[in-house]
């Protein structure tokens, strides 16, 4: 008798029946646990509306059982003996509604080396039971009348109890890998007892297999970790493709599916750095089940996916960027921007959206088309960013701007961090003692060199916050493209005795670092109230001495303190405190 036969029949199968050939076919399966895919595939081809998979361990018998049950059309004796048990015989070759093509799928049940494979099936009012053995012999029993149709295939494997959890995990992993996009629901039930032995894999995975007693395996066709994805259909929905942009650093991916069952998936740059899944009932797998056949149907499906990526993906990526920017989701925005760049998806200037630190005119983001030649950036909200926003000047969020800055610069915009370039200035109301100090300071500077137009106290934040002084007034506020001053008023609106009337303003480093002693267009001298020397001078009991120390510090700050000016300051100071002799004991004036 040949394999898969217990009795002679008049019609002989034309396919090979040598057990060695069967063994060779089984060895071709890249994954021995792919037998579950083949059984699910047969169930779908049989027209079932759902598949039930159960993994259990029988401690008394020392066997693990994996069973797949469907509610399909079932099988007759003829189908079992002339199709199921015969290699290379299939009625599905030209039927796109069926997945199996080669007639070797059922042989995969022998890949995990079972003691026996039990098949129970019902069709046409009769129930049949098949016992298939590793030596390819079988017994076929008539189970009597049946009122429903369907098939249950159970693979029984001898193993110690400590291996049961590992077996369950691998079964679950195989189902997820091969059947997660199946066209029908797949319900998995596991009952193997505690995980106590080797071959159980990571504790998390084994725990999921053990504790997740019931689980839906199937899920929609999608790119699992995609940040952006688009999908499309053709040929009346028979051909479907999903294209996704994965996080930067993720490998390219290509997956091919037939009725949702995996034909092949790999880190393959089918569409550059993008991820793609293609579903088409006309695609087929190779004889070894480890690749997709690269034929004209394959080429047509790939061409459709490529067109979808070129036509729809840029707009979807732009929409995702815009949403992340508007929703102030900085982490997602940065991840999206990096992923889009890494995937090589080209966006036009108008398709790039950049998140803002502060709302400007009610907008939380700005289009790349609205960027000017220079844009400000900051890592967080501050008084600087608030002042700029009040002046309708946008500030790009710098955390997302690590990538956003690169993209903006690619659009011809120079992104400048505000903390290194801009200074926020709030003029302070001087106290009576401050007025005396500032008056004395002005006189000393006028005598030693040249008096500033005004001297103010101010709170500074930003690029010049640690400096002794800057030289700027509200009229020097940040300008936009050279079109005029913003963020402040004319100095005439802020007299020396009432500077609090001037709103806070923002100046660029180039303006703040000018000299307050210029001959023409002399800017005010603004002393940083938080600087140590200014704080000490304001606390000093003698304004004249305090002004002298401060005058030296100001001239030194602007590199104007030389021997002659130092001597003049000394003389003026001594005269101010009533010392008229060079030796401090009276005599001729200096």
Residue-wise pLDDT for 292-308, tens only, equals 999 999 999 999 999 99
Question: Which residues, in sequence order, are CB contacts of 576 under 8 Å at separation 6+?
Answer: 440, 544, 548
277 strand-pairing partners: 242, 255
Going by the DSSP 8-state scheme, the letter that residue 583 receives in this structure is T
Whose tokens are 């630190």? That residue is 357
What's the rounded Cα separation, in Å, for the pair 102 and 89?
A: 7
- Work out the average pLDDT over 267-276: 95
pLDDT of res. 520: 85
Provide the residue ranges of all domains of the chain, joining segments of one domain with +.
19-216, 228-312, 318-421, 423-576
pLDDT of res. 372: 86
- Is the per-residue pLDDT at 209 higher than 90? no
CATH of the domain spanning 19-216, picked from 3.20.10.10, 3.40.50.300, 1.10.443.10, 3.30.565.10? 3.30.565.10
Three-class secondary structure of residue 479 per DSSP: strand
Grade residue 9 by pLDDT with cuts at 50, 70 and 90.
Answer: very low
- Work out the average pLDDT over 2-11: 43
The pTM of the full predicted model, rounded to 2 decimals, is 0.73
- Is the per-residue pLDDT at 10 higher than 80? no
- Is the per-residue pLDDT at 438 higher than 70? yes
Grade residue 211 by pLDDT with cuts at 50, 70 and 90.
Answer: very low
For residues 269 and 199, which has the higher predicted lDDT (pLDDT)?
269
What are the DSSP E strand ranges found in 246-373? 253-258, 261-266, 275-279, 353-360, 363-367
Alpha helices in 52-181 (DSSP H): 77-79, 164-179
């Amino acid at each position: 008798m040949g394999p898969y036969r217990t009795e002679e029949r008049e019609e002989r199968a034309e396919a090979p029946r040598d057990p060695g050939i069967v063994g060779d076919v089984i060895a071709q399966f890249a994954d021995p646990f792919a037998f579950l895919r083949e059984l699910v595939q047969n169930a779908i081809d049989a027209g079932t509306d759902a598949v039930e998979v159960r993994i259990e361990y029988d401690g008394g018998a020392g066997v693990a059982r994996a069973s797949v049950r469907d509610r399909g059309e079932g099988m007759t004796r003829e189908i079992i003996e002339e199709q199921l048990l015969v290699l290379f015989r299939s009625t599905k070759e030209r039927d796109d509604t069926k997945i199996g093509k080669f007639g070797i799928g059922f042989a995969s049940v022998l890949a995990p080396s079972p003691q026996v494979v039990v098949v129970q099936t019902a069709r046409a009012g009769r129930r049949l039971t098949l016992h298939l053995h590793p030596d390819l012999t079988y017994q076929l029993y008539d189970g009597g009348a049946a009122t429903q149709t369907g098939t249950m295939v159970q693979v029984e494997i001898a193993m110690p109890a400590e291996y049961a959890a590992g077996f369950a995990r691998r079964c679950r992993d195989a189902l997820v890998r091969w059947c997660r996009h199946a066209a029908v629901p797949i319900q998995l039930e596991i009952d193997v007892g505690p995980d106590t032995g080797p071959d159980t894999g990571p504790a998390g995975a084994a725990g999921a297999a053990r504790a997740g007693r019931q689980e839906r395996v199937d899920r929609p066709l999608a790119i699992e970790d995609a940040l952006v994805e688009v999908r499309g259909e053709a040929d009346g929905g028979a051909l479907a493709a999903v294209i996704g942009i994965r996080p930067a650093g993720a490998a390219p991916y290509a997956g091919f599916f037939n009725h949702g069952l995996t034909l092949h998936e790999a880190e393959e740059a089918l569409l550059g750095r993008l991820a793609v899944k293609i579903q088409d009932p006309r695609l087929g797998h190779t004889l070894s089940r480890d690749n997709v056949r690269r034929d004209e149907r394959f080429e047509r499906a790939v061409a459709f996916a490529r067109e979808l990526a070129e036509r729809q993906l840029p707009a979807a990526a732009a929409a995702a960027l815009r949403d992340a920017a508007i929703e102030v989701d900085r982490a997602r925005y940065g991840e999206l921007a990096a992923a889009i760049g890494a995937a090589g998806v080209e966006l036009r200037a108008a398709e790039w959206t950049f998140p803002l630190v502060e709302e400007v005119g009610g907008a939380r983001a700005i289009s790349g088309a609205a960027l000017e030649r220079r844009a400000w950036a900051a890592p967080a909200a501050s008084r600087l960013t608030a002042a700029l926003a009040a002046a309708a000047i946008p500030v790009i969020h710098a955390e997302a701007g690590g990538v956003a800055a690169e993209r903006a610069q690619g659009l011809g915009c120079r992104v400048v961090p505000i903390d290194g370039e801009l200074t926020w200035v709030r003029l302070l109301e001087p106290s009576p003692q401050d007025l005396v100090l500032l008056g004395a300071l002005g006189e000393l500077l006028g005598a030693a060199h040249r008096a500033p137009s005004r001297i103010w106290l101010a709170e500074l934040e930003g690029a010049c916050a640690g400096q002794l002084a800057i030289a700027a007034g509200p009229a020097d506020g940040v300008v936009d493209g050279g079109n005029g001053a913003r963020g402040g008023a004319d100095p005439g609106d802020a007299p020396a005795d009432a500077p609090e009337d001037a709103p806070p303003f923002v100046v660029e480093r180039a303006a703040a670092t000018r000299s307050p002693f210029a001959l023409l267009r002399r800017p005010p001298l603004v002393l940083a109230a938080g600087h140590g020397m200014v704080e000490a001078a304001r606390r000093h009991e003698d304004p004249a001495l305090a002004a002298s120390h401060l005058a030296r510090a100001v001239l030194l700050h602007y590199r104007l303190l030389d021997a002659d000016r130092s001597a003049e300051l000394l003389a003026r100071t001594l005269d101010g405190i009533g010392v008229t002799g060079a030796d401090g004991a009276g005599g001729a004036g200096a």
